[in-house]
Amino acid sequence: MLVDETLPADRREHVAEHLRACAACADDVARLAAVAARLREAPPAAPAPGDLWPSIRKRIDDTKVVAIDATEAAPVSRITWRHRVGVAVVAAGVVLTVLVLRPSHSVPVEEVPSSSDTASLRMVADSVRSYEEEARVLLNRLEIQRAMLRPDAMAAIDADLRTIDGAIEELKRAIADDPNNPALRRLLAASFRQKVELLKRAGSAS
Amino acid sequence: MGIAALAAATTLRAQTSGGRVLGARAAIGTVAIKAWNPAGSIRFVAWDKDSVVVRGTAGRNLRFLLAGDSAGIKVGPEGHWSDGQAEPSNIVVYIPRHATVSAKTVSANIIGEGTSGWFYTVSGSIRLSGASTSVEAESMTGSLDINVSTPWVKARTGSGHLLLRGTPQDADVSTVGGTLSIATSSVLRGQFASVTGDIHYAPPDGPAPTAILEFANHRGAVDLLLPSNASAALTLSSIAGPIQNGFARVRPAAETARSMRINLGRGEAQLTARTFKGTIRLRTP
């Protein structure tokens, strides 16, 4: 919204203040702005050949239940370069969101588990993904709150986070060696749950 | 109602000692109490009166705040502690038995007797007892002593010690590095977890017959101390830690290098313990 200038005025200063303090978000906005700028500079696409539409319309008519009025004029493409820029910006935003939210470290590709554990493994894998995503959001929030927390509280939070992250890394390495072990995945889900709970507790400390 | 509050305060002054009455408010039975105290202590006592009364002493250079209406009341010292070192205030808050508390401190200890709600402290301790409708207790580094009769309890701490006793039915408790001790037989649904702290489960009468309990630990031990007449079906597994069976006369139903299934008695309660490399110990007192 900041890039396409649709952000409400009363929120711009708040967002700008955050960007001044958060390099990661500032980079994301800069990349998105660059993509939007390049798309604006791109020449508009050439219109489709005029004789293409009748054959397309006939194919649609052949499969439609209600026929289109034969006297209706063939539609002229109303998609302007602005629409193309808008779609591209949205698509770029989706791509950037995926890039930003992707795991910071590689997650091993899950091999096909044995049939008896398939459902169990899938359920646990889903819960791990869900916890991992929630932890990421809470970590970002903690970084914003860091300056408002007492140093001793922050030190305790960081120490506990290191403990839990160490456990998570050990479990991920073990899963990489033994991907079909449901016990490992349950332990991983439990560790992520601990992390999410800790980050929620930390949020109350300010 | 205001007269009732003052009357209660007067009666209380006559009945108890220590700390002057800092304020009193009439309140409905289900009043919501929001309380804070950076340092010192804050104690909640449930009573059968339709009022909230606060006794104690506010720290130097702090003034005491008691505000709100009969449905919602705020309690706590007000002042300036931007340097993070507030003067300790020690206050006792008498609240209607069905009130809901939301209490937050930095280093002040929290004590609750017959109270329900959310209790949070960064580094203080939390001690809860009596009957409650639900309890949620959290600390970053402080110790928790939960001795309540409640359908539901959730308790978390990082490096502090957590002791669960009383008669909770549904328990979700965990530590990060502190020890976790469960000394109650009443839990029917329990999730107990730690990362590096040891978990000790020692129900005095064994687990409840219909209990379903899960213990998860990464590097800390899981110590299951069950009476010889316990009735439980146990599933124990560890990726890299040892499993020790102290019930020498009971042959496991199934056993591998890293897992064990064992039935004690009629095998009624369901206990599952998983660790990554922590030791799992099953033994009798």
Give the closest of B140, B176, B237 to A153, CB-based: B140
Chain A CB contacts of B158 under 8 Å are 156-157, 159-160, 198, 201
Q: How far is the C-alpha of B247 from the C-alpha of B249, rounded, in Å?
A: 6
Q: Is the pLDDT of residue B267 over 70?
A: yes
Q: How far is the C-alpha of B35 from the C-alpha of B277, rounded, in Å?
A: 42
What pLDDT sits at residue A111? 35
Distance from CA of B285 to the nearest CA of A (A): 28
Q: Is the pLDDT of residue B7 over 70?
A: no
The answer to whether the CB atoms of A152 and B120 lie below 8 A apart is: no
Write out the two tokens for B266: 């009629």
Give the closest of B106, B174, B276 to A171, CB-based: B276
Give the closest of A156, A163, A183 to B195, CB-based: A163
B136-145 tens-digit pLDDT: 999 999 999 9
Which residue of B121, B138, B140 is the best one to mutate when testing the A interface, meaning the one whose CB has the most A CBs within 10 A? B140
Distance from CA of A160 to the nearest CA of B (A): 6
Looking at residue B224, its amino acid is L
- Does A202 reach chain B within 8 Å, measured CB to CB? yes
Contact predicate B51/B90, CB 8 Å: no
Chain A CB contacts of B259 under 8 Å are 183
The answer to whether the CB atoms of A191 and B174 lie below 8 A apart is: no
Q: Which has the closest alpha carbon to B173: B185, B161, B162?
A: B162
The answer to whether the CB atoms of B159 and A191 lie below 8 A apart is: no
What pLDDT sits at residue B16? 47
Torsion angles phi and psi, residue B123, rounded to 5: -130, 0
B16-40 tens-digit pLDDT: 444 889 999 999 999 999 999 999 9
Pairwise pLDDT comparison (B263 vs A7), residue with the higher score = B263
Q: B144 - beta bridge partners?
A: B126, B162
Residue A106 CB neighbours (<10 A): 9
Interface of chain B toward chain A, CB-CB under 8 angstroms: 84, 104, 106, 120, 122-123, 138-141, 156, 158-159, 174, 176-177, 193, 195-196, 216, 218-219, 237, 239, 259, 274-276
Give the closest of B139, B176, B274 to A194, CB-based: B176
- Does A179 reach chain B within 8 Å, measured CB to CB? no
Chain A CB contacts of B122 under 8 Å are 150, 153, 156, 205
Chain B CB contacts of A198 under 8 Å are 156, 158, 176
User: In which residue are the tokens 């906005």 written?
Assistant: A29
The answer to whether the CB atoms of A156 and B216 lie below 8 A apart is: no
- Does A164 reach chain B within 8 Å, measured CB to CB? yes
Q: Give chain A's largest Cα–Cα span.
A: 77
Contact predicate A163/A180, CB 8 Å: no
Q: How far is the C-alpha of A32 from the C-alpha of A40, rounded, in Å?
A: 12
Q: Burial of B168 by CB count in 10 Å (0-12 exposed, 13-18 middle, 19+ buried)?
A: buried
B102-124 tens-digit pLDDT: 999 999 999 999 999 999 999 99
Per DSSP, the three-state class of B5 is helix
Give the closest of B104, B176, B274 to A163, CB-based: B176
Q: Is the pLDDT of residue B217 over 80?
A: yes
The answer to whether the CB atoms of A201 and B138 lie below 8 A apart is: yes
Distance from CA of B70 to the nearest CA of A (A): 26
ipTM: 0.87
What pLDDT sits at residue B183? 98
Digit-by-digit pLDDT tens for chain A (206 residues) are: 777 777 777 777 778 887 877 776 777 787 777 777 777 776 665 555 555 566 666 666 665 544 434 444 444 445 566 656 555 555 555 445 444 444 443 333 233 334 456 777 777 777 888 888 899 999 998 988 888 888 888 999 999 999 999 999 999 999 999 998 888 999 999 999 999 999 999 988 87
Q: How far is the C-alpha of A79 from the C-alpha of A137, rounded, in Å?
A: 37
Q: Which residues contact B58 (CB under 8 A, 6 or more apart)?
A: B22, B64, B77, B89, B91
Q: How far is the C-alpha of B263 from the C-alpha of B215, rounded, in Å?
A: 17
Write out the two tokens for A165: 């992250």
Contact predicate B196/B179, CB 8 Å: no
